């Protein structure tokens, strides 16, 4: 099986977008053959300047048919040129898949390819995409979304997750997992996973508090008392509580609840786990305690989020 991939670039494209091509490169290495043939494309061909100013050589659009066409993003969601829009409309009729990373979703939207579909983009631009293109069902808190033959991803690094998902679809999970390990990235974040991370939002400043948070995330089934977390941070419980609140703006107990809610929501969105099992595995202990935490975090109970996730997978 050989898959031709056309990667569309345009002036001021974001440099990190090129990272998706590395996923296909390593998939070829692990498959022992050229499964993916990647071609860089642009409307006029030749050198296309990146967001950093250096140029990348491309081929001009032609009548060549690609199995998968991917349009990359930029830093400002600039309007697409007529040539790119026309090319994508043609490609949608001949290619098996059309994908966009980050603000590339705006380009697909201009071409009308997202009308009536679910899509995502970088969280910073998601509401603008929804406002400008109301026919799209924009889900701003997603890593990537697959709606029929159309794939869209969040910010630039999420393009790696999208590319790994493409490889998994084509070659299976074993090769995708191996590629992820070789690139030293997590295999792969589920499409439904949040763009936001509780660990990042807590924004711990010191290594000790960060160590305690990582310990908590990796041991959610444990009690995770202040004493236990303080021990992980090599601080007394009193010192730990004071430093933790100074750095994160909240108590250790509240932070642990956020980590548990995040883990529980991911389990709901990525599988068919029973509510009681999720409550146990994420340390809530029982579904009622988890329900109260979800109402505080999301304003809706776990069952509502689970139903939404099930509908998205159907």
pTM higher than 0.75 for the full model?
no
Q: What is the dihedral of CA 236, 237, 240, 241, to 10 degrees?
A: -150
* Of 130, 44, 54, the residue nearest 84 (C-alpha): 44
For residue 219, give the DSSP letter.
T
Region of residue 11 (phi > 0: left; psi between -120 and 50: alpha; otherwise: beta): beta
Burial class (CB in 10 A: 0-12, 13-18, 19+), 187: middle
Residue 1: pLDDT band (50, 70, 90) is low
Q: How far apart are alpha carbons 44 and 58 in whole angstroms?
A: 8
The class of domain 3-182 in CATH terms is alpha beta
* 3-state class (DSSP) for residue 53: coil
Asked if 139 contacts 194 with a C-beta cutoff of 8 angstroms, the reply is no
| pLDDT digits 0-9 by tens, 78-120 | 999 999 999 999 999 999 999 999 999 999 999 999 999 999 9
Q: How far apart are CA 111 and CA 90, in angstroms?
A: 10
- What are the Cα distances from residue 7, in Å, to 165, 171, 234, 263? 16, 20, 49, 34
Distances (CA, A) of 160 to 36, 74, 252, 260: 15, 16, 33, 26
* Per-residue pLDDT, 293: 93
* Domain 198-313 bears CATH identifier 1.10.10.60: yes
pLDDT greater than 90 at residue 203:
no
Sign of CA dihedral 13, 18, 20, 21: positive
pLDDT at 303: 86
| 3-state SS, residue 251 | coil
Domain ranges of the chain: 3-182, 198-313
Question: What is the rounded CA–CA span in Å between residue 258 and residue 217?
Answer: 10
Tokens of 309: 């996730």
Structure tokens at 283: 């340390």
pLDDT at site 17:
93
Neighbours of 12 (CB within 10 A): 15
Which three-class secondary structure state does DSSP give residue 137? strand
Could you give the angle at the alpha carbon of 196 between the alpha carbons of 173 and 279, nearest 5°? 75
Distance CA 307, CA 302 (A): 9
Q: How far apart are CA 219 and CA 3, in angstroms?
A: 41
Tell me the CA end-to-end span of the chain in Å, nearest whole number: 28
**Does residue 61 carry a pLDDT above 60?**
yes
pLDDT band for position 2 (cuts 50, 70, 90): confident
Per-residue pLDDT of 124-133, as tens digits, reads: 899 999 999 9
Q: Which of 39-43, 246-250, 277-281 has the highest mean pLDDT?
A: 39-43
Give CA–CA dist 252/235, Å, rounded: 13
């Amino acid at each position: 099986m050989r898959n031709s991939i056309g990667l569309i670039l345009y002036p001021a494209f974001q440099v990190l977008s090129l990272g998706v091509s590395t996923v296909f490169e390593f998939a070829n290495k692990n498959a022992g053959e050229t499964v993916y043939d990647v071609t860089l494309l642009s409307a006029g061909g030749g050198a296309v300047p990146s967001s950093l100013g250096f140029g990348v050589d491309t081929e001009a659009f032609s009548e060549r048919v690609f199995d998968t066409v991917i349009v990359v993003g930029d830093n400002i969601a600039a309007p697409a040129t007529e040539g790119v829009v026309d090319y994508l409309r043609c490609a949608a009729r001949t290619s098996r898949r059309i994908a966009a990373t980050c603000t590339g979703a705006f380009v697909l939207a201009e071409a009308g390819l997202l009308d009536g579909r679910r899509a995502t983009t970088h969280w910073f631009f998601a509401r603008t995409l929804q406002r400008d293109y109301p026919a799209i069902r924009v889900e701003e808190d997603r890593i990537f979304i697959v709606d029929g033959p159309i794939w869209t991803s969040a910010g630039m690094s999420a393009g790696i997750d999208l590319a790994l998902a493409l490889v998994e679809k084509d070659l299976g999970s074993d090769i995708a997992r191996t590629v992820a390990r070789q690139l030293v990235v997590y295999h792969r974040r589920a499409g439904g996973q949040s763009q936001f991370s509780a660990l990042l939002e807590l924004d711990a400043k010191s290594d000790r508090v960060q160590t305690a948070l990582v310990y908590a995330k990796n041991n959610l089934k444990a009690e995770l008392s202040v004493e236990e977390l303080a021990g992980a941070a090599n601080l007394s419980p009193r010192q730990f509580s004071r430093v933790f609140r100074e750095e994160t703006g909240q108590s250790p107990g509240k932070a642990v609840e956020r980590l548990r809610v995040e883990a529980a929501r991911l389990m709901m969105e990525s599988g068919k786990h029973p509510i009681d099992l999720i409550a146990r595995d994420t340390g809530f202990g029982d579904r009622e305690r988890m329900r109260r935490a979800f109402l505080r975090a999301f304003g809706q109970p776990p069952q509502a989020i689970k139903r939404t996730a099930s509908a998205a997978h159907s």
